[in-house]
Amino acid sequence: MTQPRHFLEIDDLSRDELFAVLDRAETYKDAQENGEDHEDLEGQTLGMIFQKPSTRTRVSFETGMTQLGGHAVFLGEDDIQLGHGEPLKDTSRTLSRYVDAVMARVFKHDNIEVLAEYASVPIVNGLTDDAHPCQTLADLLTIREHNGGFEDVSVAWVGDGNNVAQSFAIGAALAGIDLTVATPAGYEVDDAVSERARELGGEPATTADPVEAVDGADVIYTDVWISMGQEDERDVRMDDFEGFQVNEELLSNAPDASVMHCLPAHRGEEVTDAVVESDRSIVFDQAENRLHAQKALLSWLLE
């Protein structure tokens, strides 16, 4: 039996494959805006495993499958045996007999790898503690739309070197984007991630100075300082990230930059309300593009 293609990390796609998926996403977006049907996955079912709650991931995948003519099944922790006694490999092999693909949003990255090892259908990483490649697809689609491509585009990441930052660093390298990452000491992206980006020809520059990072940037990207599961670190993190807020003062150092955030935003912490609501914010274009990028990914994996 042919082994399925999985999407656990953004660099599971080659550069040519990444651009092909982004092209397909644009096609789907145009079709939707023109009221055209595109039921390329008619009769197919996506199983959606959620250990972590979500708004954008659940709604975009479920809506996307519907628009493609398929169906999505929500599987929360209380709905299946995941983490309640049944080995992950058994869950993976069983679901493979029922559905055409599985999207899983879990805590440990090891768990998504086990699901993929034992699955006979494509496994899509909807988020782990280490990576968020579906978000990166939407990010790259958004940057390409607003900048006419990736050539000579520079992005500044300001904040925590978390799972979103790590996937974006690798995706930026794949796409040929010039990336600078500004984090407090101790919150950098993993060395292994920087090495993977370097091997792709685009290791990000790093700094502890947000002003230095955003100087000349076309896009400024941030995310929450306190992710799910880190609530007990709140006081320490709020102190450590002082000076890293994306606000109007910081934006004055990059007068032409757009602002991105993967959402949900903790307004008043990593970004101000005024910035999110400003004309420079493209966060809701970015959120919408989760739908189009994931439709493109699913149809590419399942065709």
User: What pLDDT digit, counting tens, does each position of 219-236 carry?
Assistant: 999 999 998 778 899 999
Residue 87 is assigned to a ligand binding site: no
Tell me if residue 135 is catalytic: yes
44 is annotated as an active-site residue: no
**Whole-number pLDDT of residue 198:** 97
Asked if residue 55 belongs to a known ligand binding site, the reply is yes
The catalytic residue among 11, 139, 160, 223 is 223
| The model scores a pTM over 0.75 | yes
Is pLDDT of 83 > 70? no
Domain 134-287 in CATH: superfamily?
A: Aspartate/ornithine carbamoyltransferase (3.40.50.1370)
Tell me whether residue 223 is one of the annotated catalytic residues: yes
**Is 132 labeled as catalytic in the residue annotation?**
yes
Fold of the domain spanning 6-132+290-302 = Rossmann fold (3.40.50)
Minimum mean pLDDT range among 61-65, 87-91, 151-155: 87-91
- Whether the per-residue pLDDT at 2 is higher than 70: the answer is yes
pLDDT at 209 over 60: yes
pLDDT in tens, 160-180: 999 999 999 999 999 999 999
- Calculate mean pLDDT across residues 5-21: 98
Amino acid 1: pLDDT: 57
227 is in an annotated binding site: yes
- Give residue-wise pLDDT tens across range 108-144: 999 999 999 999 999 999 999 999 999 999 999 999 9
Is residue 262 annotated as a catalytic residue, yes or no? yes
- Spans of all domains in the chain: 6-132+290-302, 134-287
In the predicted model, is pLDDT for residue 58 greater than 90?
yes
Q: Give pLDDT, residue 84.
A: 66
Rg (CA), the chain: 19
Catalytic site includes residue 105: yes
Instruction: Spot the catalytic one: 58, 132, 144, 237.
Output: 132
Domains 6-132+290-302 and 134-287 are alike in CATH topology: yes
Which residue in the list 105, 196, 237, 261 is annotated as catalytic?
A: 105
Judged against a pLDDT cut of 90, whether residue 156 lies above it is answered with: yes
Say if residue 266 carries a ligand binding annotation. Answer: no
Known binder of ligand: residue 184? Answer: no
| Residue 207 known to bind ligand | no
Task: Output 199 or 2, whichever has higher pLDDT.
Answer: 199
